[in-house]
Amino acid sequence: MALIPGTVGASPVQNVGAYGVELQDRFESLDAVDLQTGQLFTLNAAQCGFGYRDSVFKHASKPLGLAGRALITAVRFALPKPWRAVLGYADLEKKRVQSGVKDPSAQQIFDWVCDIRRAKLPDPALIGNAGSFFKNPTVSAEQCQDIIGREPKIVHYLLADGSAKLAAGWLIDACGWRGKSVGNAGVYEKQALVLVNRGGATGGEVMTLARAIQTSVYERFGIMLEPEPVVV
């Protein structure tokens, strides 16, 4: 989770995660205030309904949706003892091999994640951005085979249930969007999954760019990309 900007209270809202670990993997419970009734309550992981960049805090529908209704005041984490490295992510494994370290420490992994992120992602203090703008879409095994047949180089990760997660950045790149702009909103040159504010971009420009990207990816791959940030 190194270098993911944000507060602890916001981290369960989209079940933040990166490089092979999500909040839900280390989560125990949270406390919150019901903004309608003023009641305090506690939720465990199952009650939070965590999914990929998702939770009950992003959904308004009843009975379980808590969007706009819950103020998270405390989050409890459960860390495994002894600590174990999670190195399944390809870029991290590459770093480990390059460094020659067999059993990296948590600090080493933190530093590697920071290096990888700094090389790919713009610093929001310098270039306005919301991180990944689209979620990586999940497709069925059949759909994945069909797309691989047409696009053999497509970056994808097979999941335990036979489905596959496709790299949204790759799909956007394949449609030629990297470095392109609509007004002052642009697609980051080093990572097509990130939309950036090149200076003075309006919300309209960002959304026009996002919809144009969705349309091209849909027309070429038949996949509708879903935005990751909450649009207000």
Ligand X SMILES: Cc1cc2nc3c(=O)[nH]c(=O)nc-3n(C[C@H](O)[C@H](O)[C@H](O)COP(=O)(O)OP(=O)(O)OC[C@H]3O[C@@H](n4cnc5c(N)ncnc54)[C@H](O)[C@@H]3O)c2cc1C
Min separation Cβ 99 and ligand X, Å: 22
Q: How far is the CB of 16 from ligand X (least distance, A)?
A: 3
Helix axes 106-120, 90-99, angle to 10 degrees: 120
Which residues are part of the catalytic machinery?
53, 132, 228
Residue number with CB closer to ligand X (18 or 87) = 18
How far out from the chain centre does Cα 143 lie?
A: 22
Cα separation, 192 vs 216, in Å, equals 14
Paired tokens of 85? 């490295």
Q: How far is 146 from 169, CA to CA, in rounded Å?
A: 19
Report residue 131 as tokens. Answer: 């991180």
Closer residue to ligand X (CB): 14 or 144: 14
Q: Which is nearer to ligand X, 18 or 155 (CB)?
A: 18
User: Rounded to the nearest whole angstrom, what is the least distance from the CB of residue 68 to ligand X in the complex?
Assistant: 7
How far apart CA 220 and CA 188 sit, in angstroms, is 21
Choose between 148 and 155: whose C-beta lies nearer to ligand X: 155
CB of residue 194 vs ligand X: minimum separation in angstroms? 7
Tell me how far, at minimum, the Cβ of 13 lies from ligand X, in Å: 4
Query: In terms of CB distance, is 149 or 199 closer to ligand X?
Result: 199
Residues that bind ligand X (CB under 6 A): 4-7, 9-11, 13-14, 16-18, 53, 57, 70-72, 121, 124, 129-131, 230
- What residues does 201 pair with on adjacent strands? none
Q: List, in sequence order, every beta strand (DSSP E) within the chain.
A: 17-18, 21-22, 27-34, 40-44, 70-77, 128-132, 138-139, 156-158, 164-166, 181-182, 185-187, 194-197
Task: Say how far apart CA 232 and CA 213 lie, in whole Å.
Answer: 19
H helix intervals, the chain:
45-48, 90-99, 106-120, 141-150, 168-174, 203-221
